[in-house]
Amino acid sequence: MKLMHSPASPFVRKVMVTLIETGQLEDVERVNVATSPIATDAELASANPVGKIPALIRENGPTLYDSRVICRFLDARAEAGLYPEKRIWDTLTLEATADGLTDAAVAIVYEERFRPKEHVSMDWIEGQWAKVSRALDALETRWMSHLNGPLDMGQIAVGCGLGYLDFRHDVRSWRTGREGLSAWFEKFGQRESMLATKPG
């Protein structure tokens, strides 16, 4: 299999952490891709018509894309139990919360990086950050018992999302007022899979 890949992408990181945690890293060749919302890499576009990473090219079967689809496939392939049936809806909702947080954080970077400076909307940026902030508050107030439970995909998604905030939005000081989430991330970030995939 081949993974269309960019190490700075938090969604690629989510897949990479999953590969490490499920013991499948050596099964996947990583193909670095330079792409953007306004200049899609041709090889990536042929694998994923919407031109986004990650995309997992399989030898038998169509290419898989969207990190949630890829991670679900990898978990099933390894029978790793990262989507535990007993708490599947909680796990999926936590993963969706983390991915929504990350989507909004990426959107801020895109607004600042790809839109002409005179057209950058601070109102839009702050609206995106409000989504991030609400998600962080929900994690702090509603999800700590789940985060402190057995490893699942919700936790991996949260860890990668918070790592992206540190990487691209450290000036926002997301930890302030969220001591439980901050302490959890300090511990989770020391996992081998997280250290091996930390952007920098």
Shared-domain flag, residues 70 and 107 = no
Sign of the CA dihedral with 173 first, then 34, 36, and 29 last: negative
Tell me which residue range forms the domain holding 188. Answer: 85-194
Shared-domain flag, residues 14 and 45 = yes
Task: Cite the beta strand spans of 26-169 per DSSP E.
Answer: 29-32, 55-57, 64-65
Shared-domain flag, residues 53 and 106 = no
Query: Quick one: tokens of 148?
Result: 């402190």
Shared-domain flag, residues 156 and 102 = yes
pLDDT tens for the chain, 200 residues long, are 999 999 999 999 999 999 999 999 999 999 999 887 888 888 888 889 998 999 999 999 999 999 999 999 999 999 999 999 999 999 999 999 999 999 999 999 999 999 999 999 999 999 999 999 999 999 999 999 999 999 999 999 999 999 999 999 999 999 999 999 999 999 999 999 999 999 98
Q: Is the pTM of this model over 0.85?
A: yes
Shared-domain flag, residues 72 and 93 = no
Burial of 186 (0-12, 13-18, 19+ CB in 10 A): exposed
CA 5 to chain centre: 13
Q: Which residue do the tokens 């890829």 mark?
A: 70
**CATH code for the domain in which residue 118 is found:** 1.20.1050.10
